[in-house]
Amino acid sequence: NAGVMQNPRHLVRRRGQEARLRCSPMKGHSHVYWYRQLPEEGLKFMVYLQKENIIDESGMPKERFSAEFPKEGPSILRIQQVVRGDSAAYFCASGADSYNSPLHFGNGTRLTVT
């Protein structure tokens, strides 16, 4: 199954530590998106990347959060100095290089900050 792969599924970090979330897009997809979902809330767009380029990071907090999608390897969402408010489900999605294409989601990383 060449679906969107995310790891880890669950991540527990203490306040002040760093969290690194990984995402490998579906085979043939060159667009990667990160979304955050708080309990009982909708999906909030964070960042959109193509290989080696950040296309739109308008939904990502300016501080402590960064994202990359290197030429080789998975996309990484990095959260430095985590706080309790960062606890959420982080979903990665990938899409084809075509308008009108739906996004396909990975099974998410559930981050808990203690």
Q: Which residues bind other proteins (CB under 8 A)?
A: 31, 33, 35, 41-43, 45, 48, 56, 89, 91, 93, 95, 99-108, 110
Q: Give the DSSP per-residue string, the chain.
A: ----EEE-SEEEE-TT--EEEEEEPPTT--EEEEEEE-TT--EEEEEEEETTEEEE-TTS-SSSEEEE--SSS-EEEEE-S--GGG-EEEEEEEE-SSTTPPPEE---EEEEE-
Shorter beta-carbon distance to other proteins: residue 69 or 91: 91
Q: How far is the CB of 31 from other proteins (least distance, A)?
A: 6
Q: How far is the CB of 81 from other proteins (least distance, A)?
A: 27
